[in-house]
Structure 1
Amino acid sequence: MAHNLKIQLMDTHAGGDVSRIVTGGVGPLPGASVRQQMEYLRDDADGLRRLLLEEPYGIPEMSVDLIVPATDPEAEWGYIIMEVMGYPIYSGSNTICTATALLELGLVPKQEGVQTFKLEAPAGLVQIEARVQGGVVESITCEGLPSYIHTHRAAIDVPGLGEVTYSVAYSGGFYALVEAADLGFSLEASEERQLAETAHAIVEAIQAERGFFHYTLGDVGPLPFLHFMGPVEQVSRHAYRSRSATYVHPGVICRSTTGTGTSARLALMQYEGRIQPGDMLETVSLRNTGFIGTYTGLGDADGQPVVENRITGKGYVLSQADVVVNQDDAMVSGNVWESLRALQVPG
C-alpha cells in the first residue's frame, strides 16, 4: 500500500476568498450527474473537503472546488463546491474562481475578447461569460441562481443582543439579512471578529427557532449564512453600492461579499421596490474588494416569483502545487485517509 497520496491544486481567489481548485489526483466519482457526485462526497467520502480545509493543509475560511467531467453535454466541465458548512449547490465566488482556473489551465481554450461557455454545478447548468484582454482573464460573469425573499422583516430575541430584525433570502442557500448599523457595525476590517461572534449568535437563535423550505428543493438543512448589509448609496442612475459582509456558519466571515450574498441583496432590494431590471449593485467587502450583481428580470419558477441575476468579479491565480498526504502523519485522521483512498487518489 502506498504511504502517501498526491493531489494537484491551483489556488485562486476572487474578492479575497481563496478557492482551492482540485485539478488532479481524484478518480471518477459515482453518480449520473454532478449533483449526485456531490451527494456521494457529502454522504460517503468527506475526506477531501476535510483535508483541504483543516490543519495542516488549510483553514476553514478557504473553499474547495473539485473539477469533474460534465455529465450534461452542454457543459464544458463540472465542479463540486466544498466549504466549512458542507456542500453548497452553488457559489458565485467559487464559480468565478473555477472558470478562471479552467481558462488558465487551458481546459477551456482561452479566446481574446468575450467568450461564453457553460459549466455544470450541483445546482445545474451555469452560463459563463469571460472577458480576456492580452491573454489575461479580466472578469468572469456568471449566472446567479434565481433568488427570492422567503421572510421579510421578522424579529427574534437573541441572547446577549436582544431583539434582532432580519429577512431571509434564498440565493443558492438561505441567508439571514440584517442591517449592520442596527447592530452597531460600520463594516470595517477591525470589526471582523465581533461580526463573526454576532452572526454566530443570530444564526444559532434562528436555527433553534425555525427551519426553511425551498419551493422545489424542500428542506435544505439549517440556515447556514448571514449577510450584514451596509447603507445603499446610489452612484449613478442604474448603479448602487453597499458595504457588506457574509458569514458562514460556524464562525467564518468571508473575505469577499460572496456572489450568493450579492444575489440575496438583489432579491431584497427588488422585493422592497428599490431596483428595476438592469440595475446593478456593487457589494464592497471589509477588505474593499467587490462583486457586481445585476438584476436582469423577474421570473416565475413553479409559481414562485424569482429574481434573475448575474454576478461579475475577477479571479486571480495564487499558486499551483502538489499536496502530499502522508499516511503516518498524526495531523491526518484515519477516516480522512480512508476517505481519500476511496476516491482512488493515486499514490
Structure 2
Amino acid sequence: MNQPLTFRMMDTHAGGDVSRIVLGGIEPLPGDTVRAQMEYLRDDADGLRKLLLFEPYGIPEMSVDLVVPATDPAAAAGYIIMEVMGYPIYSGSNTICTATAVLEAGIVPKREGVQHFTLEAPAGRVKIEARVEDGVVEAITCEGLPSYIDTHRASIRVPGLGDITYSVAYSGGFYALVDATELGFGLTLDEERRLADCAHRIVEAIQAERGFSHYTLGDVGPLPFLHFMGPVEQVADGFYRSRSTTYVHPGVICRSTTGTGTSARLALMNHEGRIRPGDRLETVSLRETGFIGTFTGVRQEGPHAVVENTITGKAYVLGHTEVVVNCDDPLVECNGLRQLLSARRG
C-alpha cells in the first residue's frame, strides 16, 4: 500500500465563492517568481488543482489558492490561484480569501484596527488593507488589476439567441459584458441554469469569431468570461449599486459577483462617462452577496483609458482540514501529485 500523502487546508468563502486555501504539506516549487511557480504547476504538475476541484474532494464551482513563500521581498506571502478553467493570474475573491487566511493562520500577524501588507500573486504585488474588529477580519480591500475597455457595444449573431450586443473589458482576464435586461434576465437565483447556458452560447460565438490581445501581455488566450449586468442605481452621492453575475466555465456561474467582474464594470462605467475617480460600485450577486469596487484613478496607455481600482469584501472561514490523499483509491489520480505533496512522517 502506498504511504498516504497529506496537506493542510483552510476552507473560506467570499461572496459565496468557496476558496480552498492550501497552507502546508506542499513541497517547494521550482521557479524564481510566483508567476514561474504557477507556470510549473500549469504545465507540469496540474494534479493538485484537479484533486481539489473535482470528486471526491471538491466541485468545479470552488477555487484553490496555494500559499507559497513570496519571492518579492516586499511581500509577506505568495499565492497561486487555481480554478476549473486553469490558472488565472489574478482574482479578487481569491485574494480576499487568501488575505483573510494568512491573517487567521498567523502568517501575517493579525492586529486590531486597520493594517496593511502586500501579497505576491502571479500578476505581481497586491496591496492589502485589512480591517480587524474584536479579532475578526471584517473586511479586506485589495487592488484590482488595471482594467480597460477593449471593445464597446459590438454585435454578434448567436445561434438560438439572435443578435447580441456586448462590450469586452480586460480586468485580469477578458470579459464579455452584456446587459441582463436586454436578454430578459432579472438576475435572480432561479435563473442560474439559464444564465449559464446563455453565457456559454455567447462566449462560444465570440471565441469562434475573434480573439483578443492585451496591450502589454499580448495573447492571453481566448475570451473565457462573461458578466451579466443589471441596471445601475445611484444610492448615494458617488455610490452606485447593480445586480450582477459572472460566468466562468460551461455550467459554472460564480456564487459571488467576482472582483475582476466588478473591476470590468468600473472600466465600462468610466468609458461611458458614468463614474468619476472616488466613486464606488457595489455589485450584488444572485445570492444577495456583494463586493464594492472603488474607482481610484485613470491613466492613458496608448488608446486605452486604464482604470485603477480596489475591491472590498469579507471572507468567512468555513473549516480547517488535513486532507489525506490515498493513491490506492480508484477515484484519486496521483499523477502530477506525488512531486507536490509531503508524505506523512512518523
TM-score bin, normalised by smaller chain: over 0.9
Deviation for aligned residue 1:236 = 0.7
2:100 paired with 1:88: no
2:266 paired with 1:261: no
Q: Give the superposed CA RMSD.
A: 1.0
* Distance (Å, rounded) in 2 between the aligned partners of 1:75 and 1:129: 13
Map of 1:338 onto structure 2:
335
Preserved CA contact (<8 Å) 1:147 1:170 = yes
Partner-residue secondary structure (3-state), 2:221: coil
* Distance (Å, rounded) in 1 between the aligned partners of 2:140 and 2:340: 30
Q: Give 2:199's aligned amino acid.
A: A
Partner-residue secondary structure (3-state), 2:20: strand
Per-residue Cα deviation, 1:114-160 (whole angstroms, up to 9, x for no partner) = 00000000000000000001111000000000000000001111111
How many residues were matched structurally?
344
* Distance (Å, rounded) in 1 between the aligned partners of 2:49 and 2:208: 27
Q: Give 1:273's aligned amino acid.
A: G
Matches within 5 A, 1:225-244: 225-244=225-244
Q: Give 2:218's aligned amino acid.
A: G
* Distance (Å, rounded) in 1 between the aligned partners of 2:180 and 2:245: 9
Partner-residue secondary structure (3-state), 1:182: coil
* Distance (Å, rounded) in 2 between the aligned partners of 1:228 and 1:285: 10
* Distance (Å, rounded) in 1 between the aligned partners of 2:176 and 2:135: 40
Preserved CA contact (<8 Å) 1:203 1:249 = no
* Distance (Å, rounded) in 2 between the aligned partners of 1:100 and 1:111: 12
Deviation for aligned residue 1:265 = 0.2
Per-residue Cα deviation, 1:14-52 (whole angstroms, up to 9, x for no partner) = 000000000111110000100000000001100000000
Deviation for aligned residue 1:345 = 2.8
Q: Give 1:31's aligned amino acid.
A: G
Map of 1:220 onto structure 2:
220
Q: Give 1:192's aligned amino acid.
A: E
Preserved CA contact (<8 Å) 1:296 1:309 = yes
Q: Give 1:308's aligned amino acid.
A: E
* Distance (Å, rounded) in 1 between the aligned partners of 2:96 and 2:78: 13
Q: Give 1:267's aligned amino acid.
A: A
Q: Give 1:100's aligned amino acid.
A: T
* Distance (Å, rounded) in 2 between the aligned partners of 1:131 and 1:15: 17
Map of 2:318 onto structure 1:
318
* Distance (Å, rounded) in 1 between the aligned partners of 2:261 and 2:235: 20
Deviation for aligned residue 1:299 = 1.9
Deviation for aligned residue 1:344 = 4.2
Percentage of pairs with the same residue: 76
* Distance (Å, rounded) in 2 between the aligned partners of 1:302 and 1:219: 17
Map of 2:156 onto structure 1:
156
Deviation for aligned residue 1:280 = 0.2
Deviation for aligned residue 1:251 = 2.2
Matches within 5 A, 1:164-313: 164-301=164-301, 304-313=304-313
Deviation for aligned residue 1:239 = 0.2
Partner-residue secondary structure (3-state), 1:282: strand
Map of 2:142 onto structure 1:
142
Preserved CA contact (<8 Å) 2:2 2:326 = no
Preserved CA contact (<8 Å) 1:233 1:241 = yes
Deviation for aligned residue 1:329 = 1.1
Q: Give 1:179's aligned amino acid.
A: D
Q: Give 1:256's aligned amino acid.
A: S
Note the residue ranges of structure 2 that are not aligned, 5 or more in a row: none
Deviation for aligned residue 1:303 = 6.5
* Distance (Å, rounded) in 2 between the aligned partners of 1:317 and 1:30: 30
Note the residue ranges of structure 1 that are not aligned, 5 or more in a row: none
Inter-CA distance 176–303: structure 2 relative to 1 (3 Å threshold): closer
Preserved CA contact (<8 Å) 1:26 1:346 = no
Preserved CA contact (<8 Å) 2:10 2:320 = yes
Deviation for aligned residue 1:4 = 1.8
Preserved CA contact (<8 Å) 2:2 2:328 = no
Map of 1:115 onto structure 2:
115
* Distance (Å, rounded) in 2 between the aligned partners of 1:301 and 1:255: 33
* Distance (Å, rounded) in 2 between the aligned partners of 1:69 and 1:301: 32
Preserved CA contact (<8 Å) 1:293 1:312 = yes
Deviation for aligned residue 1:2 = 3.7
Preserved CA contact (<8 Å) 2:256 2:290 = yes
* Distance (Å, rounded) in 1 between the aligned partners of 2:88 and 2:335: 23
TM-score (norm 2): 0.98
* Distance (Å, rounded) in 2 between the aligned partners of 1:303 and 1:71: 33
